[in-house]
């Protein structure tokens, strides 16, 4: 990033690939000033992150809290039941960031923001939420 030195070229972390490649969460500290977007998924199947116990999310989110990550976050996942799993994923992300006051604005809403009118048997969901303190 420093060699390119172009403000229009920044970084995104895809948590699924981050974990598959066995990256060290502390490496985020080296690029914190260039991190602009996070794709989130449970690496086991690239599905909704639903429960804290289902994967070792802790070290990754500890670093994001440490750097005061305040940019975009997306869920890039498959879901067989979006209306049920969406709120669970929001709750997990709230927990991961430690408090509602540090969570993205969309995570602070009390209702699930996507209301499909038909059944969605399978989907890839990406939604972006701006952090409140940009």
Using one digit for the tens of pLDDT, what is the confidence trace for 109-120?
444 444 443 333
CA distance 62 to 23: 15
129 has pLDDT over 60: no
Give the pLDDT confidence score for residue 99 in this predicted structure: 59
Q: What topology does CATH give the domain 11-125?
A: TIM Barrel (3.20.20)
Q: Three-class SS of residue 57?
A: coil
39 has pLDDT over 80: yes
Phi-psi domain of 5 (left: phi exceeds 0; alpha: psi -120 through 50; beta: other):
left
Tokens of 89: 């994923």
CA distance 104 to 134: 10
The predicted-structure confidence for 42-76, as pLDDT tens digits, reads as follows: 999 999 999 999 999 999 999 998 998 878 888 88
- Quote the pTM value: 0.74
Q: Three-class SS of residue 35?
A: strand
104 has pLDDT over 70: no
């Amino acid at each position: 990033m420093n060699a390119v030195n172009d403000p229009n070229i920044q970084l995104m972390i895809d948590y699924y690939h981050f974990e598959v490649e066995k990256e060290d969460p502390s490496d985020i500290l080296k690029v914190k000033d260039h991190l602009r977007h996070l794709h989130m998924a449970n690496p086991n199947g690239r599905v909704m992150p639903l429960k804290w116990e289902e994967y070792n999310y802790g070290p990754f989110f500890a670093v994001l809290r440490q750097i005061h990550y305040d940019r975009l976050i997306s869920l890039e996942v498959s879901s067989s039941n979006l209306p049920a799993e969406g709120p669970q994923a929001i709750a997990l992300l709230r927990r991961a960031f430690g408090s509602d006051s540090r969570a993205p604005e969309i995570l602070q809403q009390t209702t699930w923001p996507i209301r499909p009118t038909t059944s969605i048997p399978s989907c890839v969901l990406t939604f972006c939420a701006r952090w409140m303190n940009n």
